[in-house]
Structure 1
Amino acid sequence: MHRFICLLFTLIIMFTTLQPNQIHAEDKNDSIAKNAQSAILMEKNSGMTLYDKNADKELPPASMTKIMTLLLIMEELDKENLKLDEKIRISEHAASMGGSQIFLEAGEEMTVEDLLKGVAVASGNDASVALAERIAGSEEEFVKQMNQKAKDLGLKNTKFQNPTGLPANDHYSTAHDMAVMARELLIHEEITDYTSIYDDYLRKGEKNEFWLVNTNKLIKSYPGMDGLKTGFTEKAKYCLTASAKKDDLHMIAVVMGAEKPKERNEAITSLLDYGFGQYEGIKLHGKEEVLHEMTNPRGTPNTLALVPEKDVVVLKKKNEAKSNYQTSITLNEKVELPIKKGDHLGWVTVNNGKEEVSKVRLEASEPVNKANILELWKRSFRNLAGFEKF
């Protein structure tokens, strides 16, 4: 485990805010998500849970599994281990997937971007496996990466057996865990360029042209909806992890185990309406704001600006009053050069008194390489007083 050193400043920020309390279905608002086995409403930027109904109940997630699949795909794209214009040759195994599919044929070649559309829009099981095989070498190895990522995210009630959500023994998750996965996926903002598509075409103009239609019909009817993933099997019933934005709020709503698609959509709509109707967000720091500068005479450049990974936002109920929030910075004790843009180097934590309200990773705003011998020689003559170490 990394140890952290508390550095420099604690910013006491006065706002017309009060920490929103988590609302439990058994306490009030029983009409919200009444037809779901489990549900949760989480605000993405703050990470606050606003509503919870059996959110830790282990259930089959069906195709909502693909939220984790998409997360690993987006991470590979960010690392440039995968390119959108790269063509992938489809294996017999990938082409054999049943359920939702984009009807890939063994030996066919399709770009990563089109396969990504196939997963995000049409919930293609064949596209999911094709990308899994490209990233990890086999579906089995990709599933190991999925479960390791779940562990890294601290998800204790999730286990995957495949990247698709097709029925399998010992394949389960929870509404809470799906919301955390969705929150992590939405850090990759470009994912909504795909999940917000209502319809599109693959192989356009060819004999085997395929019309993609989003399985999430709320994309077209709910204002601000930009994703994320539906799911259905006989055992899982109707599920949906949905994302919608309004002003400084970005809500994630998860419903699992609804008997009918209409009931699922009504539950999602009621959750989102509750969140947007009762709460407002206040941005403490923007994701481009420099919150700290680190210096190191061994690096080029030798000063590095740290910015939050996403907007630092707290919520308030619309009818509630003042509170003091304290924002503190902690940095990783040891970071090796070179540093890549986006590397996580610390945290910005928001507290309301003794209670932690939000925690956002601090990341490098640009790459830092090791200084060469000439640069180090020049710097040896400078006054190093006040320099900080990484």
Structure 2
Amino acid sequence: MFVRIIPLIFCLFLGLLPTSHAASNVPELPKLDAAQYLLVDFLSGTELAAKDPDKRIEPASITKLMTAYVLYQELEKGNISIEDRVLVSEKAWKMEGSRMFLEAGKKVPLERMISGLIVQSGNDSAIALAEHTSGSEENFVRKMNEEAVRLGMTNTNFVNVTGWPNPRHYMSARDIVTLTRAVITEYPEHYKLYAEKEYSYNGIKQYNRNKLLWHDETVDGVKTGHTESAGYCLLASAQRGTMRLISVVLGTESDKKRSNYSQQLLEYGFRFYETHKLYDKNSVLTEARVWKGNSPTVPTGILEDFYVTIPKGHYAQLKGLMEINKSIDAPVKRGDVVGMAIIKDVDRVVLQKPLVAMDSVDTGGTWTNITDSIKKLFVE
């Protein structure tokens, strides 16, 4: 490993903090005429390009990504089954906008409705599935907002399951990426459906509105959105080799522009950046001194795979160091933050991630407490 240890410095960070990778060999992204956009590496979470990523915007049908995410959870819990037959209500049947053309009063296999939700972006299927799962759209929306809070989507609030315009219904580009990473990570089998180019129901064939599925074979999702007020929006993801990128383009003037801008973002990321795994999850990297405990040290490391995204050709320049808290008192629990792993590209910090205790350390006896209290005076 390329890590060196600086033992007596401490910085507390609560989460992964990607850092901008502006570098001399990475040109500026050409100007994109979109209201907001964001390009993120899936594995490292590093943001490679952005414009107003935290601004609250109308997400239109990108909303249905959260609708589907909650459905996946309910399927996993066994609260609903892929074999369920879903009753189509009058409310679902009357929905305007994109539809899979369900008929009121009929029961449709849940599996077919999920395909209609994702591939055809069916507003009618979204309503019917929400009512089947939670009794009403309102109840289902509460689950959507609960999940948004759990995932840390701080600029998101849902009012409906379809993305129908409402001033209290909004997301941000960064929140959209957060949700996308969760869907791909937690439900890879369900995610495959986002690459389907067409789906037929009730004798009507409809095509996926994500035109990149036809133009770039590495693109495998994710979701389009459009209303008069939101403009044309596209959430896309592509994988080339082991590197996956997620792009969000919001508020463009046309279907063509949202596709072109999304392709530009993806090409920019793949052309000028590369992603590497530095450490496997549960890797022990060093030890930290523990005072007043039944053990004088605790192994420290990381609980998740540790990736870094850097300008191409910079991997050999990376340096790693660890900053460890010099004043750790027992008790210590596994997962407690005890320092920081820092990755530098020459002298520029490119990524920081918390170092945590990999084991627990209980409080020591009276004598240990006394002697360590004295010793600690000479190192603080």
TM-score by length of 1: 0.71
Closer/same/farther in 2, CA of residues 327 and 235 from structure 1, 3 Å limit: farther
The 5 Å alignment of 1:220-259 reads 220-259=214-253
Bigger Cα displacement from structure 2, 59-68 vs 185-194: 185-194
Q: Tell me: CA distance 1:290–1:57, structure 2 relative to 1, closer, same or farther (3 Å).
A: closer
- Which of 120, 123, 135 is equivalent to 1:122? 120
Does residue 343 of structure 2 align to residue 352 of structure 1? yes
Q: Name the SS of the counterpart of 2:180 in structure 1.
A: helix
Q: Give, in whole Å, the separation in 1 of the partners of 2:117 and 2:22.
A: 33
Distance change >3 Å, CA 274–CA 192, structure 1 → 2: same
**Kept in 1: contact 2:2–2:319 (CA 8 A):** no
The count of corresponding residues between Structure 1 and Structure 2 is 313
Mapped pair 1:155 → 2:146: no
Q: Distance in 2 between matches of 1:181 and 1:131?
A: 20
Equivalent residue runs for 1:104-253 within 5 Å: 104-187=102-185, 188-202=187-201, 208-253=202-247
Quick one: which amino acid aligns to residue 216 of structure 1? N
8 Å contact from structure 1 (residues 62, 236) kept in 2: yes
Measured in 1, the distance between the counterparts of 2:45 and 2:136 equals: 33
For 1:191 and 1:325, locate their aligned partners in 2 and report how far apart those are by CA, in whole Å. 39
Deviation at 1:212, TM superposition (A): 3.1
Rg larger for: 2
Q: Which runs of 4+ in 1 moved over 4 A?
A: 11-14, 289-292, 325-328, 353-356, 386-389
Q: Deviations over 1:340-378 (max 9, x none)?
A: xxxxx999x964379854589xxxxxxxxxxxxxxxxxx
SS at 1:81 equivalent: coil
- Find the aligned partners of 2:3 and 2:76 in 1 and give their Cα distance: 34
Match of 2:261 in 1: 267
1:22/1:57 CA distance change after superposition, 3 Å: farther
**Which digits, 9 at most, give the CA deviation of each residue in 1:60-100, with x for residues without a partner?**
11111111111111222222322222221222222221100
What's 1:342 paired with?
none
Whichever structure has more helix as a proportion of its residues is: 2
Give the 3-state SS of the residue equivalent to 1:316 in structure 2. Answer: strand
Letter in 1 for 2:30: S
SS in 2 for 1:212: strand
For 1:31-70, list aligned pairs within 5 A: 31-32=30-31, 34-70=32-68
Matched AA of 1:232:
H
Other structure's SS at 1:156 match: coil
Shift of 1:274: 0.8
Q: Is the 8 A contact 2:20 2:350 kept in 1?
A: no
Distance 2:220 2:354 in 1: 24
Structure 1 unpaired stretches of 5+: 1-10, 203-207, 293-306, 335-344, 361-385
Residues 303-327 of structure 1: CA distance to partner in whole angstroms, max 9, x if unpaired? Answer: xxxx977x64321211322222669
Q: C-alpha displacement at 1:137, in angstroms?
A: 1.6
Q: CA deviation at 1:22?
A: 4.8
- Asked if the contact 1:48–1:357 (Cα under 8 Å) also holds between the matched residues in 2, the reply is no
Tell me how far apart the structure 2 counterparts of residues 20 and 356 of structure 1 sit (CA, whole Å). Answer: 6
Aligned residue for 1:341?
A: none
TM-score, structure 2 normalization:
0.73
Note the alpha carbon deviations across 1:272-316, whole angstroms, 9 max, x for none.
Answer: 011111111112456xx7769xxxxxxxxxxxxxx977x643212
Give the CA RMSD over aligned residues. 3.4
Instruction: Give, as a single letter, the amino acid of the residue that structure 2 aligns with 1:44.
Output: F
Distance 1:90 1:346 in 2: 49
Mapped partners of 1:183, 1:387: distance in 2: 30
Q: 1:324 aligns with which of 320, 326, 329?
A: 320
Structure 1 residues 81 and 266 mapped into 2: Cα distance closer, same or farther (>3 Å)?
A: same
Structure 2 equivalent of residue 365 of structure 1: none
Instruction: Confirm or deny: 8 A CA contact 2:308 2:351 kept in the other structure.
Output: no
SS in 1 for 2:30: coil
Q: Given the superposition, is the C-alpha separation of residues 155 and 90 from structure 1 closer, same or farther in structure 2, using an over 3 Å criterion?
A: same
Distance in structure 1 (CA, Å) of the matches to 2:75 and 2:336: 23
The unaligned stretches of length 5 or more in structure 2 are 5-17, 285-301, 325-331, 363-380
Q: Which residue of 2 aligns with 1:337?
A: none
Residues in 2 aligned to 1:49 and 1:71: alpha-carbon distance in whole angstroms: 23
Q: What is the CA-CA distance between 1:155 and the residue it aligns to?
A: 1.7
